[in-house]
Amino acid sequence: MALVKVNELLQHATEHHYGVPAVNTFNFETVKYIVAGAEREHMPVIVQFYPGFYEYIPLKLVAAIACHYAEQASVPVAVHLDHSAGYEIAVGGIRDGFPSVMVDGSSLPYEENVALTKSVTEVGRVFGVDIEAELGHVGDGSNEADFVGSDMYTDVSQAVEFVERTGCGSLAIAVGNAHGPYVRTPNLDMQRIKDIRAALDIPLVLHGCSDIPEEQLQETVVLGMSKFNIATEYFRAMYASIAKNVEAGGFNEDAFGLMRAAGEDMTEFVASKIRLLNPNGFSL
């Protein structure tokens, strides 16, 4: 399988009623084991990178690593730049080789979000790059006010107007989800998801999927969500595997051996998320 476009992958997922994990990476190993998990389940996956990690690894380098593994994979793999907070970051991601980019203007006033998203979408169209946007604000799981109560949730009618005016290819929505660890168990607004899905014909994205109860995630798949962003749990699985192997001993201060040993747990974590987001048992 060659590297595939994110929107092509998400349209297929929407039509066939499964969800695609979009798993965050920050180095070679995290890319490798995301793809290995997808190959284990023989299902698609998205490898994505948060541009705030640019001081750790340059965007151009991580894009090259991710695209290389995608091109070699036996299943469809897409590559995406997550949460570009501004025009320069988003267009920089396009320049540095990401085939798909999210521009996040959700913290801006509505009209500024529209203008920013439209401008990035126009650049993306020139270079054949898919653009994800966000409407409503997906805040921080450490702040209960960011995900409890509907003040910052995505408005259905506004979402229709936003997509029409910006031309974005997929839309991240706020429905009771938030980034990072949650201070209390989230309770997603399923009716709002259902209403937005009925009103829009582009793929819908759920950010902050780590630690959302499994039954809620599966219900959102049934309701038509397509892309599910996962970072916190994947990095936690990596840490837990390394800590377990250090405690068990036997590596004689061998960092290379520890990273190789963590691969099985990380691969299985990704595979488990793919199974979870495929409640209808679709197979390629």
The catalytic site residues sit at 82
- Three-state DSSP at 228 gives strand
Q: How far apart are CA 106 and CA 187, in angstroms?
A: 21
d(CA 35, CA 48): 11
Residue type for position 221: V
Q: Which residues does residue 48 pair with via DSSP β-bridges, in sequence order?
A: 24, 80
Provide the token pair at 210: 């780590």
Estimate the crossing angle of helix 28-41 against helix 59-72, to 10 degrees: 30
Query: Which amino acid would we find at residue 20?
Result: V
**Please, how many CA atoms are within 13 Å of residue 268, restricted to the half-sphere of its CB?**
7
State which H helix or E strand residue 84 sits in.
strand 77-84
Spatial separation of the C-alpha atoms in residues 158 and 119, rounded to whole Å: 19
Q: How far is CA 246 from the centre of its chain?
A: 30
C-alpha separations of 35 from 20, 38, 46, 49 in Å: 12, 5, 8, 14
| 173 close to 193: Cβ distance less than 8 angstroms | yes
**Beta bridge pairs of residue 23:** 47, 230
Q: Which one, of 28, 39, 24, lies nearest residue 83 by Cα?
A: 24
